[in-house]
Amino acid sequence: MCLTLHAAPETNAVRLITLDPGHFHAGLVQKLMYPQVSPVVHVYSPPGPDLDDYLKLVERFNTRSNDPTHWDEVVYTGPDFLQRMLKEKAGNVVVLAGNNARKTEYIDRSISAGLNVLADKPMAITPANFTMLRHAFARAAENKVLLYDIMTERYEITSILQRELARMPELFGTIQTGTPAEPAVELESVHHFYKEVAGKPLTRPAWFYDVRQQGESVPDVGTHLVDGVQWLCFPDQALDWRKDIKVLSARRWPTKLTPEQFKRSTGMDHFPANLKADVGPEGDLAVFANGEVTYTIRGVHAKVAALWRFEAPPGAGDSLHAMMRGTRASLVIKQGAEQNYKPTLYVENHSDASPAQFEQALRHAVTKLNDLWPGVDLKPAGPAWEVTIPDKYRVGHEAHFAQVTEKFLGFLAAGKMPDWEVPDMLAKYYTTTEAYRLSHAAR
């Protein structure tokens, strides 16, 4: 079946193809318009609620009162949607965000067809996927196309400032080596199954709760955390997954959902047949949505943990805790009730400098930050210092998708990405899929 909405001439250099959208991130890429991107988006998908939800989200962006978009969706549905997309090549950039069971295959097939790919995380959820992904990157180089994943956390202001302060040796020193018991860098995120997106409750597809399709904790949302470790500790440096990464241990454990919670999240009255094996004797669904991994990266000990709960407390949302231990100071992001659930950056002194000397070094560092982020300041926070950040820099998670897309469009215009991006993506997905392997071996 082929459906055309609001047909318009394609005059822009970048033409998007949305393939099998099954996650709201596919729609968030289109929350804004981009001058170099055609408003006509070709969509290839099986029919069903995943596609319907994507189209509804784009239509909400098109019809909002404030700065509406004007995307024109040309939709093909049918069992041969992938083959049809590869044959027609109606665009030059494939956007992928959905069921992760086939995502690596979609990436590989699209790259082999000479198409650029902008993929939501994760691009690989198993060791076998990682092998296929390595081949896809090699083919991308041969075909002179770009393959890039959507790392929104790089655009969160507290993470940006943490990274910048870590690059000031007069304040931070250098990253410690750490130990498995006390890693030099620790990142932990908490996500929630039930939440709002674009002002409305999010309906999850039932397959989202099947980790064989969505991916387990570390290979899925843990991708952001592993990327964060690399981005914070070794900025703009090419990593070698074969030499620089050593995964030490990993574990996984479930979050349990009641039938009532599952219905509230998906709208379904019962667990589907493919999830029956994950239902315990008390009738709750065990979703292996929690995991952690400890590893070394160029000798630096790191630990990441990705956790899922059903719903956030009132006023809260998804959260991040991030610690970097330097030889002179530690940089810590907290996002709890004490911080009113806003990510907040603290600087802790553990150097030989006196409190007055440390304050002087910190104020000098913040003066440098003001060159790009005017208004950033400091205030005492017990034995530490809080970096105060004007609200204008807190644009929110949904806005970060446009920022990533704009970065990717810049790469397309230049015909290349920074030399470190592909090696670091390989290092990232090796870490997450090796964590998957070890967590299963530990059972």
The full set of domain ranges for the chain reads: 2-150, 154-398
Longest CA span, the chain: 71
Band of residue 10 on the pLDDT scale cut at 50, 70, 90: very low
233: nearest Cα among 291, 162, 158, 334: 162
Which residue is associated with the tokens 């990464």?
245
Chain segment 172-190, per-residue pLDDT in tens:
999 999 999 999 999 999 9
Find the Cα–Cα–Cα–Cα dihedral 295, 178, 158, 221, rounded to 10°.
Answer: 20
- The mean pLDDT value of the chain amounts to 94
As a whole number, mean pLDDT of residues 137-148 equals: 98
Letter for the amino acid at 106?
A: Y
* Burial (CB count within 10 angstroms: exposed 0-12, middle 13-18, buried 19+), residue 200: exposed
Residue 11 has pLDDT above 70, yes or no: no
- Identify the pLDDT of residue 7: 36
Question: Per CATH, which fold does 2-150 belong to?
Answer: Rossmann fold (3.40.50)
Beta-carbon contacts of residue 131 (< 8 Å; ≥ 6 apart): none
Q: Is 319 left (phi over 0), alpha (psi -120 to 50) or beta?
A: beta
Residue 397 has pLDDT above 90, yes or no: no
DSSP code of 178?
Answer: B
Options 3.30.360.10, 3.60.15.10, 2.40.110.20, 3.40.50.970; CATH for 154-398 is 3.30.360.10
Beta-carbon contacts of residue 70 (< 8 Å; ≥ 6 apart): 6, 8, 33, 39, 62
- Identify the pLDDT of residue 262: 97
Cβ-count burial 39-50 (b if 16+ within 10 Å, e if not): bbbbbbbeeeeb
User: Going along 123-169, which residue ranges are E strands?
Assistant: 147-150
Residue 432 has pLDDT above 50, yes or no: yes
Task: Say how far apart CA 406 and CA 29 lie, in whole Å.
Answer: 10
229: nearest Cα among 274, 178, 264: 178
Share of the chain above pLDDT 70, in %: 97
Chain segment 86-134, per-residue pLDDT in tens:
999 999 999 999 999 999 999 999 999 999 999 999 999 999 999 999 9
**168 three-class SS:** coil
- Identify the pLDDT of residue 79: 96
Could you tell me if 431 and 423 are in contact, meaning their C-beta atoms sit under 8 angstroms apart?
no
Could you tell me if 33 and 58 are in contact, meaning their C-beta atoms sit under 8 angstroms apart?
no
- Identify the pLDDT of residue 22: 87
Question: Which phi and psi (to 5°) does residue 310 adopt?
Answer: -70, -50
Tokens at residue 109, please? 């097939």
Chain segment 253-304, per-residue pLDDT in tens:
999 999 999 999 999 999 999 999 999 999 999 999 999 999 999 999 999 9
Out of 11-15, 51-55, 201-205, least confident range: 11-15
Which residue is associated with the tokens 């897309």?
405
How much is the pTM?
0.93
Chain segment 222-244, per-residue pLDDT in tens:
999 999 999 999 999 999 999 99
Task: Say how far apart CA 182 and CA 425 lie, in whole Å.
Answer: 26
Task: Say how far apart CA 152 and CA 161 lie, in whole Å.
Answer: 15
